[in-house]
Amino acid sequence: MTIFLQSLDYQLWHIIVNGPRMPTRTIDGIVSPKPENEYNDNDFRMLQFNSKAKHVLFCDVGPNEFNRISSCDSAKQMWDLLEVTYEGTNQVKESKISMLVHEYELFIMRDNESISDMFTRFTTIINSLKNLGKSYPNQSTAMTIQSTAVTFQSTAVTFQSTAKRCTFQPVALEIEFLAQTADWNRASADCPGI
């Protein structure tokens, strides 16, 4: 939703994150709210951004979320409430980050998992971490994928050498290996960092 809001108008996003800027005036060094009859065009425009931001949020949520945020006075209050509802408090976020970092650090290819399924699972972990504010450099993620792929390739080589010693021909397994190798070659071509 962040990108959607920013693409509509970056000032809308600014109002949502920082709250509305209420028009003020300074008299004898004292800052006080400006009466509405003294608003200028810029003041009205800034207030209108809060209303537009609220409107976008109202239109973008379902009925349950609408009921939850309809009593909020500002787009920032609405956003903060939605953020806590879907991402949790800071303590919950930290717990999610910790769990995802653990998954990232212990990431390995599962038995009977194709390269594309492994890459999808890995990308989901990386994207979830990024959405929670924790990111890894591309170099680090590429190294993790490479080490997982090396494990896969060494397992495949072991399988091939074992298959040569067998009296039967494991054609189906060999075809699956070749298909996964093709997936790996395609993924390597699509993602040069791997």
Tens-level pLDDT at each residue, the chain (194 residues) = 788 888 888 888 888 899 888 888 888 889 898 999 999 998 898 888 889 989 988 988 888 889 989 999 889 999 999 888 877 777 888 888 889 889 888 888 888 888 888 888 888 998 888 888 887 666 455 555 555 555 555 544 444 444 444 443 444 444 454 455 555 455 445 555 44
189 in helix, strand or coil?
helix
**So what's the pLDDT on residue 181?**
52
* Coil, strand or helix at 170: coil
**pLDDT computed for residue 106 by the predictor:** 85
Single out the residue of 116, 108, 182 nearest to residue 147, CA to CA: 108
Nearest to 14 by CA among 60, 46, 58: 46
The pLDDT of residue 77 is: 92
Distances (CA, A) of 41 to 29, 36, 44, 83, 93: 24, 11, 5, 32, 41
Note whether 68 and 81 are within 8 A (CB).
yes
For residues 110 and 161, give the distance between their C-alpha atoms in angstroms, rounded to a whole number.
Answer: 21
DSSP 3-state of 187? helix
pLDDT at 76: 92
Q: What b/e sequence results for 47-67 when a residue is b if at least 16 CB atoms lie within 10 Å of its CB, and e otherwise? A: bebbebbbebbeeebeeebee
| pLDDT given for residue 167 in this prediction | 41
Q: What are the start-end ranges of the H helices in 22-137?
A: 41-60, 63-69, 75-87, 90-105, 115-131
Q: Are 19 and 76 in contact (CB under 8 A)?
A: yes
**Hey, what are 190's tokens?**
């699509």
pLDDT score for 157:
46
Measured CA to CA, the distance from residue 131 to residue 136 in angstroms comes to 12
Helical packing angle, 171-190 and 138-165, nearest 10°: 160
Residue 92 in contact with residue 84, Cβ under 8 Å?
no
Show the tokens assigned to 87: 């991402």
Residue 143: the pLDDT is: 57
